[in-house]
Structure 1
Amino acid sequence: MNIVDPNGPSLVNIASNPLPEGARVGYFKTADNVQLRFAFWPKSAGKQRGTICLVQGRTEFIEKYFETIADFRKRGFAVATFDWRGQGGSDRLIGNPRLGYVDKFEDYWTDLKSFHGHILLPECPPPYYLVGHSMGGLVSLFAAAKDRLMFDRVFLSAPMVALDRQPLSMAGMARAAEALSFIGLGRMPVSRKADRPASETSFPDNPLTGDMLRYLRMVDVVKARPDLEIGAPTVRWVAAAMAAMAAAGSDSFPGRIKIPLLMLAAARDTVVSTNATEQLGLQLRTGRHLVIAGARHELFMETDTIRGQVFAAFDAFITEQSG
């Protein structure tokens, strides 16, 4: 069953992943004319604490965060979120809609800036808190460095600061992928085992979560709405992402962040580099980091015990500061 607005997009509502009540769903256009799907929920309990702007990782979509959205709302926050260009219910950018693509990483900043101007400021109660996961965490770091007035605080889950086990440095990988793009291979997929579609049989060795029910919930959503899914990234996406990670790893980057920021890293993360997150955390002047023991990459989708630690950190850093 879908909740359908005849003039706009829909959100998947299934028994294993119920849609939180009160959703407003729509499209907005970015500054460069890309159509993105967004959703907004008012707070569901308690005093009004402002709005959580939730930005996702690569391949993700709004429906994946229904449980987490409900958790934020119970704390007195409204929640506003959207699907990045090229994924979820937003415009796909190349002929093959299943491949992850972006021209340049700066385009994600355009998405966030446009969302802030078109949806957050006119529609959502202040103050605004940015919560970003993985790729969304890297975009969030750049947002904090570029404009310290957009958000009061930034909370990151397993930010994509660097990738381990690469043959070259982030800058070297960016240059190699850029060279392949230059000769016309930018839309070619970069296949990795980690990008295989999730299924009932892929849970035991998955890198994302130790919680089977939360893992299978996302399998159910994609079964109900296959067009939300994307798989392997393209060479062009790799070039853009590696260049952004290289920039975030530069000596000058930490000093550019001047707003309160907390990064949570997962001790058992094999998707992004926990060590790089720790190194960045040690260099931040207005930020810090915390490593969650036993956790895999998707901290908000993990077991109840791990999620409890994540929300304890969130409450200490944002909920208790928003009173």
Structure 2
Amino acid sequence: MSDDLPELIETDGNPVPGNHVVGWFDGVGGKRLRYAIFKSEVSVAAGTVVLLHGRNECIEKYYETIRHFTDRGLWVATFDWRGQGRSQRLLKNPFRGHLRRFRDMEADLSIFLETIVLPETRLPFCLVAHSMGALVALSMAPKLANRIERMALIAPFVELSNQPIPTWGTRLITRVLRMAGLGWLSSGKDRFPQPFAGNALTTNIDRYARNQALYLAHPELRLGPPTVCWVNEMLGAMDRINRFEHLDQIHVPTLLIGAGNDPIVAPQAIENLGNRFRAGRAIMIDGARHEILQESDRYRLAALAAIDAFIPPDQTSQPVQKVLTQPD
């Protein structure tokens, strides 16, 4: 894996944005992680968006979003988290979505900011993160005040929704299994590919098909279900970021964007979180499912409009109060 060229993959209907560089960097413990920087054609960049993916995502899935930001005059810096995309996997079975320690992801992000973003991109730095990536950002936020100007966190993974057993039960079961040395076990069956009907991610069949086609053509980019250890580490991080003593240390202005019809993350939990720390505020995109940036335009463009109004920091910009969805 680590000897492969750090290339970006192109599929039909999903071309690689131009004017980019791609490479490897070493995360904590020497894990090889793939990164890419996409430069705007605008001669004077307005800043850089640090784009953080969710679970089972990769750089290729965000080409459309990357073009949106580079068309605005922003650069985009992004990387595949450890254990997914084309970054180094953590188990012999590469399809198991594993994580040993949540703090490893935080350390990887810190290394990325210090060794790639700071020397190779343009100020100011703002952060846009989805789901799991947003959870990492929230966990690290008290340490980001001197590096990140603003954060826009989309469907942040702050509380599980529609679970067959209570969260406390999942936490107990996964803890016991980890103590028994079974943290590598998968938490479910790999059911890829799944039909569009009934999916939890998006109401847009074209974007859903595009992402499924990417993983069908390049299965090395995708993951199956998460492991017991991954679930347990995420639950621990959720507990930590929801504590008042943690939220009180966040000083980076933060916009939380929730999906009103999200079957994965509880929308009310996002609204509640936005009301609990001074630097944060929350808006909801009514009707959207979990992957708002992969959604139908009536939802996706509403979220992007909110982000555009929020970053990069601008003395003349007005606070985001409410986003109205428009028909496709």
Measured after TM superposition, the shift of residue 237 of structure 1 is 0.5
Are residue 149 (structure 1) and residue 142 (structure 2) matched? no
Are residue 238 (structure 1) and residue 235 (structure 2) matched? no
Residues 218/290 of structure 1: CA separation in 2 closer, same or farther (3 Å cut): same
Paired amino acid for 2:192? P
Matching residue of 1:196 = 191
286, 289, 292: which one aligns with 1:296: 289
Matching residue of 2:220 = 227
Q: Distance in 2 between matches of 1:12 and 1:139?
A: 26
Are residue 251 (structure 1) and residue 244 (structure 2) matched? yes
Matching residue of 1:100 = 97
Give the conservation status (yes or no) of the 8 Å contact 1:78–1:125. yes
TM-score by length of structure 2 reads 0.91
TM-score by length of structure 1 reads 0.92
Give the conservation status (yes or no) of the 8 Å contact 1:155–1:314. yes
Give the conservation status (yes or no) of the 8 Å contact 1:16–1:220. no
Give the conservation status (yes or no) of the 8 Å contact 2:150–2:312. no
Number of residue-to-residue matches in the alignment: 313
Matching residue of 1:131 = 128
Paired amino acid for 1:33? G
- Structure 2 SS opposite 1:32: helix
Give the conservation status (yes or no) of the 8 Å contact 1:100–1:230. yes
Q: Distance in 1 between matches of 2:44 and 2:118?
A: 20
Structure 1 alignment gaps of length 5 or more: 1-5
Give the conservation status (yes or no) of the 8 Å contact 1:86–1:102. yes
Structure 2 alignment gaps of length 5 or more: 317-328
Paired amino acid for 1:56? H
Q: Distance in 1 between matches of 2:116 and 2:91?
A: 26
Q: Distance in 1 between matches of 2:16 and 2:294?
A: 16
What do residues 263-295 of structure 1 show as CA deviations (whole Å, max 9, x unaligned)? 100000001111111111011201100000110
Q: Distance in 2 between matches of 1:241 and 1:114?
A: 21
Q: Percent identity?
A: 40
Give the conservation status (yes or no) of the 8 Å contact 2:21–2:37. yes
Q: Distance in 1 between matches of 2:172 and 2:121?
A: 40
- Structure 2 SS opposite 1:291: strand
Paired amino acid for 1:177? T
Matches within 5 A, 1:1-323: 8-45=5-42, 47-166=44-163, 167-169=165-167, 173-191=170-188, 196-199=191-194, 202-319=195-312, 321=314
Q: Distance in 1 between matches of 2:275 and 2:314?
A: 22
Q: CA RMSD in A?
A: 1.7
Matching residue of 1:3 = none
Q: Distance in 1 between matches of 2:184 and 2:262?
A: 28
- Structure 2 SS opposite 1:119: helix
- Structure 1 SS opposite 2:94: coil
Q: Distance in 2 between matches of 1:143 and 1:19?
A: 30
